[in-house]
Amino acid sequence: MISSAPMGAQAKGWRWLLLALLAGGALLAASRLEGIVFDHDTRSLLQQDAAEDALENELARRFGSDDVLLVAWPVPDLLAPAEFRRLRAVTEALTGLPGLEETYSLASPTVPLPLDRLRPIEDADLEEPERTARVRKAILASPIYLGTLTNDRLEVAAVATTLRPGVRKEREAAVRAVRAAVALHFPSGQEAFVAGVSALAMDANEYAVEDLQSIGALALTASVLVLWFLRRSLRETALAVGATALPPLYALGIAASQGIAVTALGAALFPVLAVVGITSSVYLLDRYGEERARGRSAREASWGAARALAVPILLSLFTTAAGFFTLRWTGVPAFRSAGSLVGVGVLLAMPVTLLGLPAALDLLDLPPRERRSRRTGRALVRIGLCVRRARLPIALGGLAVCILGLAGASRAQVRVDVLQAFRPQSRVALTYRFLDERLTATLPVDAVLEARPNTPIRAILLDLEAFSRAAVAAPGVQSALSMASLVRYGAAILGFSESVLESPMQLAAVLQILRTGFRDIVARFEEEPREGAGGRYRVKVRVREGTPPAVLGRLSEAALRPATGTMRLTGLYVRAVETAQGLLTNAARGAATMILLIGVLVMAGCRSVRLGLAVVLPNLLPPAVVFGGAALLGIPLDISAVAVGAVAVGLAVDSSLHFLHRARAERRAGRTPDAALLRATRAVGRPLVLSTLVLCAGLAFLSLSAFLPTERFGALTALSSAVALLGDLLLLPALLRAMRAL
């Protein structure tokens, strides 16, 4: 509890000192904001897996980095002399740029085709129809270049370049340099698409900055306007905004000073933190007005309101922070870091709300105002009377909705389309849609075969070929390239028959050609055996966006068949499917943890099991309606659902705790249970409705984000808040009376 004596009841300077300390902390945090690091990686949206992380690192070490930038653009005919000259010019412009290792295209002098002893394409080849036809035939027969550097209609030109290993800033500088160099070769109205993991991460970082700067400001502005419209007090609104803005500022300052990176999803959660902070301020301001209406001075009203609401505010902020902290258990790095930062911000709202806001109210000496909106008060009374008459049907109906919703939630559809996290008309979505439709599938799967020592290469190639055929037969799989594919290509170059694997001499000749003429390419698929160890062989599988998760089961089944060694799968598609499969489990775990925490706190604080159960059930309603409704309507859930479960419960419990605290206070004043519930509904209902409107208004602006998980998170959280309002006004008082808990 908070005592008024040390809080400024005697010395006015103490209150100024308190506000000066809070303002000084804000200025210090603001001075650090330039050091904020926005760091987003595609894999930060996926669950971490130590074994797969180790396998991916091993692949990069043994077969070379797959941090590739692909520059592609549509052409009428790649082999038209003018188009091929532009391809060569772009290739030369990128070659040697800082941060790039290797650059190659069909115009590179180091890319051999089966033309007169594996020579590259020359200008003379494109001047005579007969020679051009030979070039066209050679490209279309090549599994190495087709689908990577052009498509089967030769209507796409592409340049691939690999990035040197380095820190985020170096990779971003390389991506910008590539985009700037490419832009010089395209007139206004034409554009080349630049794609790759590093390019995608940089775009996501830019969206994160935009979200934090623009959408955060819009969300806060909307909340402020709604608050001012409903309270019609400029000074009260200014106080609520000040108390709201400080915690996010403190949290960002801590992130900047500690070098903690802010991800795209983290940037979306900070506006939520700003909006959430208003709700506690609304309750305290409303109680301050109530105390002033009773004839108390500003000093007595401000610190009296703080004393009266200390317990529910502390508990609500603590549970909300716990909701964000539970995001650490999701296994998704973007949510783990964001949940920690925002959770700290919520905890920092405690001293701001319970010390800074009362001190400011004391110093400003806001005059008492007439009671607001008698219409709202009458509506709340009618709701309370309705609950009194129909408490049992409401309680049973709410319980049935919770049970049915939670039962149906297990059948909700889940998907994690990493490359479809952006709006359909955004540059990122257009880029990857172009690649997926015109050039190559954008989701990779790497299958790595660790052969046993002394295993014949022919047996290994047969296993690789069998896996590739099984993979390509699966729906959504575009291609599977391996050493077996290269051997078939090499056999065609030498004019050998399809039975090259049956002839040891022909196979040896093909391997010799590949390991000399195609040495750099072979190194990406084969690590030859060393003494006492088996070799490692990679199959590069390409999967199209939107491929159902069941396809991973077919790939995993095919990976069990090789008899020459052990095959393991990894890659973006594998991680996305595994994340989708664990998404509902993680969301349910976070919500269950929050509900258990709430129940234990209420039971321990009130020493009543019935009270704990009565508070828990209404807070089951938001996740039950959201996830159960998604299952019923067939609406697929994405990565944003991981956060909604725990955060929605954390937000919903705030009003439940305030309602319960007020109802128990009325009971201690000697009122009957029905009278206590009616007075609590009228007293707490007004700030409850107001805070919900403010919260929904702020969350609505998250729909403007270019990052679709942010938009969906805002929509689902706003829906959860609206459902929580119904739970607190209808279900909670009905349960308190039906269970005789009050």
pLDDT in tens, 312-347: 888 888 878 887 787 777 777 777 777 888 888 888
Q: In this predicted model, which residue has the larger pLDDT, 6 or 616? A: 616
* pLDDT at residue 374 in the model: 67
For residues 330 and 411, what is the distance between their CA atoms, to the nearest angstrom? Answer: 20
Output b/e per residue, 387-396; b: 16+ Cβ within 10 A.
Answer: bbeebeebbe
Residue 465's pLDDT band (boundaries 50, 70, 90)? very high
Say what the alpha-carbon torsion angle 613, 614, 620, 622 is, to the nearest 10 degrees. Answer: -160
Pairing type for strands 477-481 and 536-543 reads antiparallel
Q: How confident is residue 8, by pLDDT bands cut at 50, 70 and 90?
A: very low
Classified by CATH at the fold level, domain 68-195 comes out as Alpha-Beta Plaits (3.30.70)
Q: Quick one: average pLDDT of 464-489?
A: 92
Whether 143 and 488 have beta carbons less than 8 Å apart is answered as yes
Statement: residue 191 has pLDDT above 50 = yes
The sign of the dihedral angle between the CA atoms of 337, 340, 343, 347 is negative
**Closest C-alpha among 664, 669, 667, 662 to residue 683:** 662
Task: In whole angstroms, give the CA distance from residue 680 to residue 388.
Answer: 13
Token code pair at residue 21: 């300390």
Q: Are 35 and 261 in contact (CB under 8 A)?
A: no
Q: Which of 711, 706, 612, 708 is nearest to 210 (CA)?
A: 706
What's 422's DSSP letter?
B
Task: Say what the pLDDT of residue 341 is.
Answer: 83
> What's the pLDDT score for residue 631?
81
CA proximity to 462, closest of 499, 495, 491: 499
Mean pLDDT computed over 729-734: 89
pLDDT of residue 80: 93
Exposed, middle or buried: residue 417 (CB in 10 Å: 0-12, 13-18, 19+)? middle
pLDDT greater at residue 637 or residue 232: 637
- Cα→Cα distances 175→70, 100, 441, 528, Å: 10, 9, 21, 33
Among the listed residues 266, 272, 288, 421, the one whose alpha carbon sits nearest the alpha carbon of residue 354: 288
pLDDT at 271: 67
* Per-residue pLDDT at 9: 44
Average per-residue pLDDT for the chain: 82
Strands, DSSP E only, in 518-669?
Answer: 526-527, 536-543, 565-570
Residue 6 has pLDDT above 50, yes or no: no
Residue 1, pLDDT above cutoff 50: no
Is the separation of the CB atoms in 190 and 245 below 8 Å? no
Region 406-420: what's the mean pLDDT?
73
Task: Classify domain 5-34+202-366+375-419+577-738 at the CATH class level.
Answer: mainly alpha
Q: Is the dihedral of CA 640, 643, 646, 651 positive or negative?
A: negative
For the segment 209-220, what is each residue's pLDDT rounded down to a tens digit?
Answer: 676 667 767 766
pLDDT exceeds 70 at position 276: no
What is the pLDDT, as a whole number, of residue 150? Answer: 92
Nearest to 574 by CA among 539, 549, 557, 554: 549
User: How much is the average pLDDT of 462-469?
Assistant: 94
DSSP 471-494: HHTSTTEEEEE-HHHHHHHHHHHH
- DSSP string spanning 183-198? HTTS-TT---EEESHH
Q: How far apart are CA 617 and CA 703, in angstroms?
A: 30
| pLDDT-derived band at 419, boundaries 50, 70, 90 | low
**Does position 43 have pLDDT exceeding 70, yes or no?**
no
Q: Which residue has the higher pLDDT, 656 or 132?
A: 132
pLDDT over 90 for what percent of the chain?
16
Tokens of 493: 């170059």
Question: What is d(CA 491, CA 506) in angstroms, rounded to the nearest whole number?
Answer: 8
pLDDT(264) > 80: no
How does pLDDT run across 690-731, given as a tens digit for each residue? 878 877 877 777 777 777 777 887 888 888 888 888 888 888
- Residue of 225, 183, 208 lying closest to 267 (CA atoms): 208
What Rg, from alpha-carbon coordinates, does the chain have? 32
pLDDT given at position 513: 85
Question: What pLDDT, on a 0 to 100 scale, did the predictor assign at position 4?
Answer: 45
Give the pair of three-digit tokens for residue 703. 């729909």
Which of 149-163, 408-422, 434-448 is predicted with the least confidence, judged by mean pLDDT?
408-422
d(CA 639, CA 547): 17
Task: Name, in order, each residue with C-beta under 8 angstroms of 577's C-beta and a sequence gap of 6 or more.
Answer: 416, 549, 552
Q: At 567, is the pLDDT very low, low, confident or very high (cuts 50, 70, 90)?
A: very high
For Cα atoms 703, 707, 711, give the angle at the middle one, nearest 5 degrees.
Answer: 25
Amino acid letter, residue 685? G
Work out the percent of the chain whose per-residue pLDDT is above 70.
89
Three-state SS string across 387-405, please? HHHCHHHHHHHHHHHHHHH
- pLDDT, position 12: 63
Higher pLDDT, 109 or 327: 109
Is residue 673 predicted with pLDDT exceeding 50? yes
Q: Among 96-110, 425-439, 514-528, 577-591, whose mean pLDDT is lowest?
A: 577-591
Binned at pLDDT 50, 70 and 90, residue 154 comes out as very high
